[in-house]
Structure 1
Amino acid sequence: MLTDRATPLLVRPDDDPLADPDWQEPEPPAEKLSWLRLGFLILVVAGVGIGGTAAVMHWRDNAGALAKSWAVPYVDVTLTPTFEFQDPTLNPANDVALAFVVADKTDGCAPSWGGAYTPDEASASLELDRRISQLRAAGGNIMLSVGGLTNSELAVACTDQARLTDAYRQLVKRYDLATLDLDIEGTALADQGSLTRRAAALKTLQAERTAAGSSLAVWLTVPVSPEGLTADGVAAVRATLEGGVALRGVNVMTMDYGSAKGSNPDMLELTTSALNATHKQLSDLYLRLGVQLTSSEVWSRIGATPMIGQNDVDAERFTVQDAAGLATFAVDKGLGRVSMWSLNRDSRCKNTFTNVVVHSNTCSGVDQTALEFSKVFAGLPGTSVGSSGRESVEIPDQNATVDDPATSPYPVWRLTALYVGGYKVVWHGVVYQAKWANQGADPTADDVSGTPNPWSVVGPVSTSEIAPTPTPAVSGVTAEWNPALGYKRGDRVVFGGLPYEARWITKNEPPSTEYPIGPEEPWAPLFTVPGEPVTG
């Protein structure tokens, strides 16, 4: 988890475990990398060592494939001593994610840096505005991170929609942001009211930026486990998308997996497992929302943020070798971004703390040279996002989607119908298939660990598809159903051009045309419908 600190800390874990998860991604740079910074990056990349150099060569070989991963490490702005992110000799990265903006402690609708500085106070006391300008003059840029585990995120503290929107607007305007990162964790992740307010505010700001001829890319940063996003995490992503936000991507905090993973967990393996699981979840979620993305398009919408070095869990240490492995994974998959928590920690702990478990926000707690993690990730080939219209997709309004049985390629899902495994249906413009027998389970529900949805998503309905055509299984049935006649078990009739057989004595009960036809109906279908599983 990411947290911001106002003072330096170097303690044993039982005194004050570090939780610095407020990673946020920087906005896209407005200029090319300056010759000064470019020259410096070449030097520092060359100094990464054998593993780092090999990884950089690999990235160059793959530079033209998939998305180019964007390296954007977090900086804890209010931490003492101040990290001079604008100085290329102290920061190999071109872009940085500045963390965290939270709600003011006395006015929940006013933004503050870490609850300690108003934007004006941060400018005066921390020279923040001046340092941002210096970074940009050298070809870099910032992304602003809002939220984190410590303090209250603006949408949680501020229930006034207009003031909340204006608070975000102040940040976008003051810092001329092209990218905004929302770090949502802890209790805020399940706060439905804040999710709705936040989405409404971001939707408004994106519309304003578009009208002004600019853009605002939005990333959502959430916790993750080796099994993927939590149920609340999936729900938060969904609420953001359904709220009309053009979401650039989902950044997952690949850290603090838990002591249950063993006394010496493989952090790279756990991280790649978490990312692969997130990829599957997001692919499925977008499909449920009526958008079919390719595998590479989904990867480009995923970010990873490890806590470098010692994590909050004693046994978990993310090493420089793990970082090189993640960088290679990022390029192979086309990951949208790679961040880290944090630049403030990218150095070895000194003196008596060098060989023991150290939870600190000013050093990593593992064996490394200064800025070694930063140098590994600085070799990633991508740049900041926000310039391409392909980066965001429009989510169809499911409430406005009316499934027409006359044009849907499979039967429209019904709440009361009993479905067998393998049955296909259409619901809100998307095709689903039953994984097992079920009744009353909404296909659009999120499929997350612990609450499995019996429906797997197949993909959205295309405009060229037509209504299903049932296929009769018998011939020779010609008698039309007549409401005035009584029928006994085994009698056969034609209704709507299709054959049926009476299950029991019946009169004035027309055969059903709502598929699937349940066992409680008096007439059994003597035909098959597209979408029904093939039986022996």
Structure 2
Amino acid sequence: MLTDRATQQAVRPEDDPLADLEWQEPEAPAERLSWLRLGFLFLLVAGLGAGGTVAVLHLRDTAGPTAKSWAVPYVDVTLTPTFEFQDPEANPANDVALAFVVADPKDNCAPSWGGAYSPDEAAASLELDRRISQLRAAGGSIMLSVGGLTNTELAVACTDQAKLTDAYRTLVERYDISTLDLDIEGTATADVASLQRRALALKTLQAEREAAGKPLTVWLTLPVAPQGLTVDGLGAVRTTLEGGVKLRGVNVMTMDFGSAPGSNPDMLALSTQALQATHKQLTDLYLRLGVQLTSPQVWSRIGATPMIGQNDVDAERFTVADARGLAEFAVENGLGRVSMWSLNRDAPCRGTFANVVVHSNTCSGVPQEPLAFSAVFAGLPGGAVGTSGRESVAIPDQAPTVDDPATSPYPVWRLTAQYVSGYKIVWHGVVYEAKWANQGVDPSAAGDGSNPTPWSVIGPVGPAEKAPKPTPTVTDVTEAWNPNDMYVRGDRVMFEGLPYQSRWSNKGDAPSTEYPIGPDEPWQPLFTVPGEPVTN
């Protein structure tokens, strides 16, 4: 998805002196900002920064306890010219996500920055370690982003589980990070083997860091459409959770929606639509896995990352006004995280490009003041990386909820039952509805692109709900069923207080009380059961 950050291969400045000529250079800032980050935020609160931030800060005071959104913009570490993320004059953000760590092209199990620098080389050539220390000394923090669209993520390239775990451990320990961001894109979202390797490595590291008193927070960053996460993306989340990772949240890339040329899409509307859809998907997924979260809890586990300015899709432009709208949406809903791609691009392009599509890694391609997007998102009220007051979610190890037919509001799912479209059932404390006729498909199981699940999640079973009470459709049946009688087609009997009609000749076959009663049972029910679809 993030093609403008990924199509340019990371190169050393000394190897490619003409690297910048392909792109439009950003203008120098019109005025220098205060050296102190606190001073910068004071300017925002006073209304001297970019428009719209004051409104966002006001919402912080009135939106309630769930309004804990925090800003952590991405920085393309290997891009030329080097972005001085540690300098408050160039970066008003307190926290940054440094991107991207990938597999070394010469050693699949060794981490590298953009495939061009080993960690030691990045320290020497880019002064990366020193700049991180400077940011931290000023009260800032870093999140490390691993993956991306270009190059190969470590778990995809490295098939040796022990070496993969060592590679992640090297990153966590060298940079002393509390938060890892796994950016999974392209074919990697459907690579189940790499997803499982990654999950096992992260589970191991989380256990180690927890034991050492330095918990490790994990985010997944995934592509999204207005309809929500892709089937593969949702599967990646599920595989990660089922692999034992305590997942802090899912950050969706609200960009590159594929709008038609000349369509002038509303990027804010598409982004919020995608976030709402993701909220529903994650609510359902956690329910399927035995975790019931409230709506605010789910929102706190969702992040949004727009591509500021011109997107890779020519028709799509995310403006400063869109950024203000997203910031307000984040605070109103308690969105856990807002990032942007990228700080390197938060500047106007040089020249007159008002009516020209400009794709650049070093400027936004839309009208803006320098650092205008950063100014908007810097006003978000959340704390530093990993300290926003929300806990990671782990899937419980205990056995799933045992459903009691005496208290379940709909029939309990059965492996052998035949379900029609619209039929509602209960399974492991959750209500599901059949999207189409099916048999033998576990409602809590994951679907995929070639074999989607036939069950949609309705919601959890409430504590006061009771067993379904069948409603007879006839009132003239009085004869009780007798196991010694021979019945022919059309005979009617009462069994356990409910009427039935014989489908064919039978003797000794008791009417079924397991719902739904299938067409292969000798007795047809003359009653309806809650959960059955209404038919005309």
**What range describes the TM-score normalised by the shorter chain of this pair?**
0.7 to 0.9
Q: Return the alpha-carbon distance in structure 1 between the equivalents of residues 402 and 159 of structure 2.
A: 33
Question: How many angstroms does 1:55 deviate by?
Answer: 2.9
Q: Return the alpha-carbon distance in structure 1 between the equivalents of residues 214 and 467 of structure 2.
A: 43
- Which residue is 2:135 aligned to? 135
**More off after superposition, 154-163 vs 517-526:** 517-526
- Which residue is 1:150 aligned to? 150
8 Å contact from structure 1 (residues 11, 359) kept in 2: no
- Which residue is 2:97 aligned to? 97
Listed one character per residue, the Cα deviations across residues 192-251 of structure 1 (whole Å, up to 9, x for unaligned) are 111111111112222222222232111110111122211111111121122221111111
Q: Return the alpha-carbon distance in structure 1 between the equivalents of residues 344 and 177 of structure 2.
A: 22
- Which residue is 2:250 aligned to? 250
Q: Return the alpha-carbon distance in structure 1 between the equivalents of residues 262 and 441 of structure 2.
A: 37
Letter in 1 for 2:373: F
8 Å contact from structure 2 (residues 425, 531) kept in 1: yes
8 Å contact from structure 2 (residues 20, 81) kept in 1: no
1:227 to 2:221 alignment: no
Listed one character per residue, the Cα deviations across residues 95-145 of structure 1 (whole Å, up to 9, x for unaligned) are 000000111111111111111111111112211111111111111100000
Secondary structure of 2:112's match?
A: strand
Q: Return the alpha-carbon distance in structure 1 between the equivalents of residues 363 and 300 of structure 2.
A: 31
Listed one character per residue, the Cα deviations across residues 409-432 of structure 1 (whole Å, up to 9, x for unaligned) are 532323443334543212244221
Q: Return the alpha-carbon distance in structure 2 between the equivalents of residues 262 and 49 of structure 1.
A: 33
Letter in 2 for 1:68: K
Q: Return the alpha-carbon distance in structure 1 between the equivalents of residues 497 and 214 of structure 2.
A: 58
User: Aligned in 2, Cα 1:401/1:57: closer, same or farther, shift over 3 Å?
Assistant: closer
- Which residue is 1:523 aligned to? 523
Secondary structure of 1:43's match?
A: helix
Identical amino acids, percent of aligned pairs: 76
Letter in 2 for 1:274: A
User: Aligned in 2, Cα 1:264/1:362: closer, same or farther, shift over 3 Å?
Assistant: same
Letter in 2 for 1:116: A
1:184 to 2:184 alignment: yes
8 Å contact from structure 2 (residues 140, 384) kept in 1: no
1:163 to 2:163 alignment: yes
Q: What 5-or-longer segments of structure 1 have no aligned partner?
A: 14-33
User: Aligned in 2, Cα 1:450/1:283: closer, same or farther, shift over 3 Å?
Assistant: farther
8 Å contact from structure 1 (residues 288, 459) kept in 2: no
Q: How many residues align?
A: 515
Q: Return the alpha-carbon distance in structure 2 between the equivalents of residues 392 and 153 of structure 1.
A: 23
1:369 to 2:373 alignment: no
Q: Return the alpha-carbon distance in structure 2 between the equivalents of residues 12 and 78 of structure 1.
A: 15
Q: Return the alpha-carbon distance in structure 2 between the equivalents of residues 63 and 217 of structure 1.
A: 26
Q: Return the alpha-carbon distance in structure 2 between the equivalents of residues 281 and 261 of structure 1.
A: 29
- Which residue is 2:14 aligned to? none
1:357 to 2:357 alignment: yes
Letter in 1 for 2:40: F
User: Aligned in 2, Cα 1:346/1:534: closer, same or farther, shift over 3 Å?
Assistant: closer
Which of 10, 27, 39 is the equivalent residue of 1:6? Answer: 10
Letter in 2 for 1:362: T
Question: How many angstroms does 1:508 deviate by?
Answer: 3.8
Letter in 2 for 1:325: G
User: Aligned in 2, Cα 1:90/1:519: closer, same or farther, shift over 3 Å?
Assistant: same
**More off after superposition, 60-69 vs 364-373:** 60-69
8 Å contact from structure 2 (residues 46, 54) kept in 1: no
User: Aligned in 2, Cα 1:162/1:284: closer, same or farther, shift over 3 Å?
Assistant: same
Q: Return the alpha-carbon distance in structure 2 between the equivalents of residues 462 and 208 of structure 1.
A: 38
Q: Return the alpha-carbon distance in structure 1 between the equivalents of residues 236 and 434 of structure 2.
A: 25
8 Å contact from structure 1 (residues 55, 327) kept in 2: no
What is the 5 A alignment of 1:185-200? Answer: 185-200=185-200
Question: How many angstroms does 1:73 deviate by?
Answer: 0.4
Letter in 1 for 2:520: E
8 Å contact from structure 1 (residues 45, 375) kept in 2: no
User: Aligned in 2, Cα 1:310/1:533: closer, same or farther, shift over 3 Å?
Assistant: closer
- Which residue is 1:379 aligned to? 379
Listed one character per residue, the Cα deviations across residues 70-90 of structure 1 (whole Å, up to 9, x for unaligned) are 111000111111111111111
User: Aligned in 2, Cα 1:461/1:61: closer, same or farther, shift over 3 Å?
Assistant: closer
Listed one character per residue, the Cα deviations across residues 464-503 of structure 1 (whole Å, up to 9, x for unaligned) are 8776566777697564542x54222344556567654322
User: Aligned in 2, Cα 1:486/1:261: closer, same or farther, shift over 3 Å?
Assistant: farther
Q: Return the alpha-carbon distance in structure 2 between the equivalents of residues 274 and 450 of structure 1.
A: 23
Secondary structure of 2:108's match?
A: coil
What is the 5 A alignment of 1:80-91? Answer: 80-91=80-91
Listed one character per residue, the Cα deviations across residues 387-438 of structure 1 (whole Å, up to 9, x for unaligned) are 4775223324598666565775532323443334543212244221335655
Q: Return the alpha-carbon distance in structure 2 between the equivalents of residues 358 and 391 of structure 1.
A: 40
What is the 5 A alignment of 1:501-516? Answer: 501-516=501-516
